[in-house]
Amino acid sequence: MGLFSRKNTTESAVAVATLPVDPALAALTGDYTIDPSHSSIGFTVRHAMVTNVRGTFGEHEGTLKLDGSNPGASTASIDVRIASVDTGIGDRDNHLRSGDFFDAEQFPLMSFRSTRAEQLGGDKYRITGDLTIKDVTKPLSIDLEFNGSATDVYGNERVGFEGSTEILRSAWGLTWNAALETGGVMVSDKVKLNFDISAIKNAA
């Protein structure tokens, strides 16, 4: 079952082919609120050239707008509170919040606003939009997998997605580093962002 419009593989075509509307897909149409208690937004970055550090942002909020009749019109909006970063080590978290990295006091939010949605095949999709960190806005594409929909024990209609993307942190002004005696640097420029999203359909 698809959520977003199928990508047009014919470069010369002007219009994207219209797919038959799946009744199950049409039933998902509506506005959704991301459930932070059942969602995770995190990152993985190489440390000292030999290992990975993983972290999450414990405070985030967002909305989804799913359109089953015109899936390409679906949108996503997410705000992440930088001060909620957690890598399991307090000193490292404080360093990430400082001016060397995110400068959480001056720039408290990391935000994503989608501009395009497309189907890659099956339940795999790509959301493209604008990622803003430290008042720097750059385009970003996130590959996602639709995990399905269900009604939970409280009667909430839910949808689930998971996915990831990679960025170069320097493109958003996150340039702090330290040289290693053996060569290389302390923190990789490449960062993997990870998303595991559960969203609840808003009451009509």
What's the confidence (pLDDT) of residue 9? 41
Tokens 């219209």 correspond to 18
Which regions of the chain does DSSP assign to beta strands (E)?
Answer: 30-34, 40-47, 51-57, 60-66, 75-81, 85-86, 109-121, 124-133, 136-151, 157-168, 187-201
Give the chain's mean pLDDT. Answer: 89
Lowest mean pLDDT among 4-13, 37-46, 112-121, 145-154: 4-13
What's the confidence (pLDDT) of residue 1? 52
In degrees and rounded to multiples of 5, residue 101 shows phi and psi of -120, -100
How does DSSP classify residue 169? G
29 close to 171: Cβ distance less than 8 angstroms: no
**Residue 167 pLDDT greater than 90, yes or no:** yes
Query: Using one digit for the tens of pLDDT, what is the confidence trace for 183-197?
Result: 899 999 999 999 999
**Which whole number is the average pLDDT over 142-171?**
95
93, 97, 99, 101 alpha-carbon torsion, rounded to 10°: 70
Q: Which residues, other chains included, contact 65 with Cβ-Cβ below 8 Å and sequence gap of 6+?
A: 30, 31, 32, 73, 74, 75, 76
Lowest mean pLDDT among 69-73, 100-104, 160-164, 179-183: 69-73
Neighbour count for residue 145 (Cβ, 10 Å)? 15
**Which whole number is the average pLDDT over 18-33?**
77
Between 107 and 19, name the one with better pLDDT: 107
Give the predicted TM-score (pTM) of the model.
Answer: 0.86
**Residue 151 pLDDT greater than 50, yes or no:** yes
What's the confidence (pLDDT) of residue 179? 94
**Residue 5 pLDDT greater than 50, yes or no:** no
DSSP string, 13-32: -SSPPPPPPPHHHHTT-EEE
| CA dist., res. 173 & res. 108, Å (int) | 15
